[in-house]
Amino acid sequence: MTTLACLPRRRALLATLLAAAAPWSAPVAAAWPERPVTIVVPYTPGTSMDTLARTLGPKLSQKLGQPVIVENRPGASGNIGTGFVANAAPDGHTLLMTVSTFVMNPSLFKSVPYDPLKSFAPVGRVAVGTLVFAVNPDFPATTLAQAIQAFRDRPGHYAYASPGNGTPQHLAMELFKLHTGVDLMHVPYSGSAGAVTDLLGGQVQAMILPANTALGHKQAGKLRVLATTQEKRIEVMPDVPTLAEQGVRGAEVDLWFGMLAPKSTPQAVVARLNREVNEILAMPEIRQSLDKQGLIVAPGTPEAFGELVADEYARWAQVIKKARITAD
């Protein structure tokens, strides 16, 4: 993924993040887990993070030989649950299932109860949710280039919806605006349902939203999907070109999900968690289950996930600063 951060800074951030995983001893690794493992989801039940945790939980329980409990601790855009895990004992019994907002919130809020680079040891990326750029079918554009031109012809006239200030969809559209120079009015909603309803009704003209949410409306002719925000075309919409294919480069966005443990969690515990989760993600039934939720499995190493976190933290800090975005 393209980043606005320079390479030396990214490496420094990565080194800081990976240092959160402390050295381990064989006895510690052999004893773990000694009791039930809790996966904290910092959002409400029914969200994609919650679905991921509850899909992985039973399989992980079988592999670890201990119950795996999913605990929802919503509030403050995920900051409450995330802060709870940041301050939990680093023994591998309390984990965090998180999403891209994890690296965005520190730049959106005046203060958050965690540091994305210093408070956690990365376990691994788990999945990716695909996003698309869509417009109401009455909007006078059938291609992304035509939409951009329409926006430029009438700056500030058209509006786009998001599920709320500081959400990944909001920031993805602001990144799009920075790279295209268009002027769109932001209309934040308190969730996706109202935003999508008004997009379908024409009260707002554009939105970046999950592909699985847009797919049915696209097939019914109620939405016109002009681009995907990923680097490659997506399987469920092979006819829709990417932003980069249409000349908008550097605005690619993945809605990624991952697992973290508190800082100083033994490296052997992190390594085993990573191995077990990756094996679960390779199971056909898990892939099929997540696919129905619009999620693509995305296993990897703790190091790769740490690099992603450091990269995204630096990237979104700059986007938020340039676009003067706040969560309030």
CATH of the domain at 311: 3.40.190.150
- Calculate mean pLDDT across residues 191-215: 95
Q: How confident is the model at residue 129 (pLDDT cuts 50, 70, 90)?
A: very high
* Any domain includes 32: yes
* Any domain includes 223: yes
Q: CB neighbours of 318 closer than 8 A, spacing ≥ 6? A: 4, 5
Domain identity same for 225 and 271: no
Interatomic CA distance for residues 123 and 16, integer angstroms: 15
Q: How confident is the model at residue 293 (pLDDT cuts 50, 70, 90)?
A: confident
| Long-range contacts, 284-290 (Cβ 8 Å, 24+) | 286/55, 286/56, 286/59, 289/55, 290/51, 290/52, 290/55, 290/127
* Any domain includes 61: yes
DSSP lists the bridge partners of residue 98 as 258
- Calculate mean pLDDT across residues 35-60: 95
Domain identity same for 41 and 99: yes
* Any domain includes 85: yes
CATH number for 226: 3.40.190.10
Q: CB neighbours of 112 closer than 8 A, spacing ≥ 6? A: 79, 82, 83, 105, 106
Single-letter code of the amino acid located at 207: M
* Any domain includes 2: no
The single residue listed with the structure tokens 């809020």 is 109
Query: Of 227, 246, 265, which residue constitutes the final position of a domain?
Result: 246
- The total of structural domains in the chain comes to 2
Domain identity same for 117 and 140: no
* Any domain includes 202: yes
* Any domain includes 187: yes
Query: Of 246, 276, 310, which residue constitutes the final position of a domain?
Result: 246
Domain identity same for 87 and 233: no
Domain identity same for 18 and 61: yes
Domain identity same for 222 and 141: yes
Sign of CA dihedral 255, 256, 261, 265: negative
Domain identity same for 111 and 42: yes
Q: Is the distance from CB of 149 to CB of 155 less than 8 angstroms?
A: no
Query: Of 222, 246, 270, which residue constitutes the final position of a domain?
Result: 246
User: 142, 160, 144: which is closest to 204 by C-alpha?
Assistant: 160
Domain identity same for 80 and 123: yes
Interatomic CA distance for residues 68 and 58, integer angstroms: 7
* Any domain includes 251: no
Residue 275 belongs to domain spanning: 7-128+256-323
Domain identity same for 103 and 34: yes
Interatomic CA distance for residues 1 and 254, integer angstroms: 8
- pLDDT exceeds 50 at position 59: yes
- Calculate mean pLDDT across residues 177-205: 96
Task: Summarize pLDDT for 131-148 with one digit per residue, the tens.
Answer: 999 999 999 999 999 999
